[in-house]
Amino acid sequence: MSVVNGGVSFWMREQPTEPERAPLRGDATFDIAIIGAGMSGLWAAYHLTEAQPDLRVVVLEAERVGWGASGRNGGWLSQLIPGNRVKYAAGPEGAAGVTRLQQAMLAGITDVVRVAAEHDLPIDAHRGGNLVVATTKAGVARLHARMAADLHHGLPTASVQSLDSAQVAEHIDVHGVLGGLRYPDVTRINPAKLVRGLARIVEARGVIIHERTRATSVQPRRVETADGIVSAATVLVCTEGYSGPLMGARRIIPVNSSMVATRRLSDDEWARIGWAGLDCLSDAAHTFIYAQRTADGRIAIGGRGNPYRFRSGTGGNGHTPEATIELLSTRLREYFPSVDTTVEHAWSGVMGVTRDWCTSVSFDPTTGLGHSLGYAGHGVTTAYSATKSLADLALGLHTPHTTLPWVGYRSRSWEPEPIRWTGVHTMYRLFRVADAWEEWRGSTETCWLGRMAGHLAGLHG
Ligand SMILES: Cc1cc2nc3c(=O)[nH]c(=O)nc-3n(C[C@H](O)[C@H](O)[C@H](O)COP(=O)(O)OP(=O)(O)OC[C@H]3O[C@@H](n4cnc5c(N)ncnc54)[C@H](O)[C@@H]3O)c2cc1C
């Protein structure tokens, strides 16, 4: 069977066809205008209407609900805080702020699943945990360091476990594994079901969603589109990896992530690779992968491939180069040589990355403008928790969410082109070489190339 490639994602293609929502035609006035109908825009609408049911809220979406990363992601509800925790700790609250951020992320996992259950959304949620495996000694060393850092930054001891190779195999029998970590709170979902369901929830509360309505300019109390102007006291930008045209190309860049889904594996094949408990799987490579066992019995696995397009291109409908499909297929064959992991679906999307990979939530009460962005590939939980901060700020509330360290956080700017393109591609090339080097040399710690790439990326320091 040939690979079905692009078309937003496997998740979205599997959903029943939905009639398009009407685009905006003419001028209109609302209390709050939200740009983007991904998880961020829709959770923002959810939080706002939860607090004030009578608010008149409009969501303007350039394409369709869930067309962006929200309909394309790996479906991990994860506790991982996007970006560099040391940077957040430099904020006014110091280490305590990072601990609160960690608690907010953990609570976010529970809340998303709770809200879905309350509204009868069948999002295929399963709290099976995340198994992170290391197949090199340097990878094992990185996992030890990661666990120490997690605990230092406030992750409860019950939320991370260190495993030896035999214990890893009890969860998933990954070929060549030397050790691992397990994060038991990570929850698998079907992202397309969540984002579409969220749209239905907020619409039932009176929120208007206009599809095929691209905001061309955002100013205080005014959003321009090709076919009308929206006036609103509050305007919230929730466009994540697509934010460049509205927020400035050096503020946040679209970094590509690609996914493939295999054929359906039989019960016998799942038993052979010992993947019974529905853990999400990732690894400790610099060029890491992330995977889930889908509700319909496939392995959906993602990784980087071509990381970045010149001048912040966003890659449209998600067509994925053959070389990237082969890269992910190879990792599947290496990890699971005993089963047929033929790939049937491939797709790609972009995630928003600030210069130090940290999230930024901001709201200016004098202009009524706000945004939530920069989730760096960890947006499924963050979209819920960060937009809770944004909604509370927009409503003028003072809550624990309005003082989390991502509120008001501003990363430095990305470099101009072509330095940006060259830098991102060099960074990923260094990560690939570092993986190969550590494996070949049997390095017991991260090699200098890997450390250099991390610094170039802005992930450390
Ligand atoms: C392949 C892939 C795998 C991932 N896997 C995971 C994972 O497993 N776990 C995890 O936590 N995170 C993951 N992420 C990241 C996560 O998907 C995102 O962080 C999250 O979905 C961002 O949601 P969002 O609503 O902010 O942005 P998006 O979902 O990208 O939505 C932005 C929306 O804004 C619209 N838009 C853009 N410009 C305009 C405009 N001018 N006017 C109107 N509308 C506009 C877009 O069409 C889009 O629908 C992954 C990302 C990708 C790409």
Q: Determine which of 34-43, 88-97, 106-115, 303-312 has the lowest per-residue pLDDT on average.
A: 303-312
Give the phi and the psi of residue 116 in degrees, each rounded to 5: -60, -45
> What's the CA-to-centroid distance between 133 and ligand 1, angstroms?
26
Instruction: Name the residue type at position 403.
Output: T
Matching residue, tokens 């990923």? 428
Residue 461 — very low, low, confident or very high, per pLDDT cuts 50/70/90?
very low
Parallel, antiparallel, or unpaired: how do β-strands 253-262 and 299-303 relate?
Answer: antiparallel
Task: For a ligand 1 pocket test, name from 225, 375, 384 the mutation site with the most ligand atoms within 8 angstroms of its C-beta.
Answer: 375
User: Average pLDDT of 94-115?
Assistant: 98
Residue nearest to atom 2 of ligand 1 (CA): 73
pLDDT at residue 153, as a whole number: 96
Is residue 360 domain-resident? yes
Ligand 1 neighbour 63 (Cβ under 6 A):
yes
Separate counts of helices (H) and strands (E) for the chain: 13, 19
Other CB atoms within a 10 A radius of the CB of residue 217 amount to 11
Instruction: Please give the structure tokens belonging to residue 168.
Output: 């890893």
User: What kind and span of H or E run contains 455?
Assistant: helix 448-457
Task: State the Cα–Cα distance between residues 114 and 270, nearest whole angstrom.
Answer: 29
Ligand 1 neighbour 353 (Cβ under 6 A):
no
Q: How high is the mean pLDDT of the chain?
A: 96
Residue nearest to atom 32 of ligand 1 (CA): 239
Instruction: Name the residue type at position 171.
Output: H
| pLDDT 10s digits, 367-408 | 999 999 999 999 999 999 999 999 999 999 999 999 999 999
Which atom belonging to ligand 1 lies closest to the Cα atom of 352?
A: 19
Is residue 58 domain-resident? yes
Is residue 98 domain-resident? no
> What's the CA-to-centroid distance between 9 and ligand 1, angstroms?
12
Matching residue, tokens 């991502």? 406
Is residue 276 domain-resident? no
Q: Are 358 and 378 in contact (CB under 8 A)?
A: no
Matching residue, tokens 């053959």? 322
Asked whether the bond before 92 is cis by omega within 30 degrees of 0, the reply is no
To 10 degrees, what angle do helices 419-441 and 137-152 make? 120
Which residues constitute the domain of residue 38? 8-77+191-252+356-403
User: Average pLDDT of 427-436?
Assistant: 93
Residue 1 — very low, low, confident or very high, per pLDDT cuts 50/70/90?
low
User: Average pLDDT of 49-60?
Assistant: 98
Residue 457 — very low, low, confident or very high, per pLDDT cuts 50/70/90?
confident
Distance set, CA 328 to CA 96, 136, 289 (Å): 39, 18, 8
Check whether 362 has a pLDDT greater than 80: yes
- CATH number at 230 reads 3.50.50.60
Residue nearest to atom 18 of ligand 1 (CA): 379
| pLDDT 10s digits, 266-322 | 999 999 999 988 899 999 999 999 999 999 999 999 998 888 999 999 999 999 999
Instruction: Please give the structure tokens belonging to residue 398.
Output: 């003072």
pLDDT at residue 277, as a whole number: 82
Is residue 391 domain-resident? yes
326, 334, 273, 141: CA torsion to nearest 10: -120
Task: State the Cα–Cα distance between residues 424 and 431, nearest whole angstrom.
Answer: 11
User: Average pLDDT of 210-229?
Assistant: 98
Residue 460 — very low, low, confident or very high, per pLDDT cuts 50/70/90?
low
User: Average pLDDT of 116-134?
Assistant: 97
Is residue 16 domain-resident? yes
Check whether 327 has a pLDDT greater than 80: yes
Distance set, CA 284 to CA 142, 287, 310 (Å): 7, 8, 28
Residue 459 — very low, low, confident or very high, per pLDDT cuts 50/70/90?
confident
Structural Rg of the chain based on CA atoms: 21
Task: State the Cα–Cα distance between residues 376 and 83, nearest whole angstrom.
Answer: 7
Is residue 137 domain-resident? no
Q: What is the pTM of this model?
A: 0.97
User: Average pLDDT of 138-163?
Assistant: 97
308, 313, 315, 316: CA torsion to nearest 10: 160
Strand partners, 76: 188
Q: What percent of the chain has pLDDT over 70?
A: 99
Task: State the Cα–Cα distance between residues 413 and 249, nearest whole angstrom.
Answer: 9
Instruction: Name the residue type at position 325.
Output: I
Domains: count for the chain: 1
pLDDT at residue 278, as a whole number: 83
Instruction: Please give the structure tokens belonging to residue 261.
Output: 């889904």
Task: State the Cα–Cα distance between residues 201 and 116, nearest whole angstrom.
Answer: 10
Residue 456 — very low, low, confident or very high, per pLDDT cuts 50/70/90?
confident
Instruction: Please give the structure tokens belonging to residue 183.
Output: 């994060």
Strand partners, 218: 223
Is residue 269 domain-resident? no
Residue nearest to atom 3 of ligand 1 (CA): 73
User: Average pLDDT of 22-44?
Assistant: 98
Check whether 458 has a pLDDT greater than 80: no
Q: What percent of the chain has pLDDT over 90?
A: 95
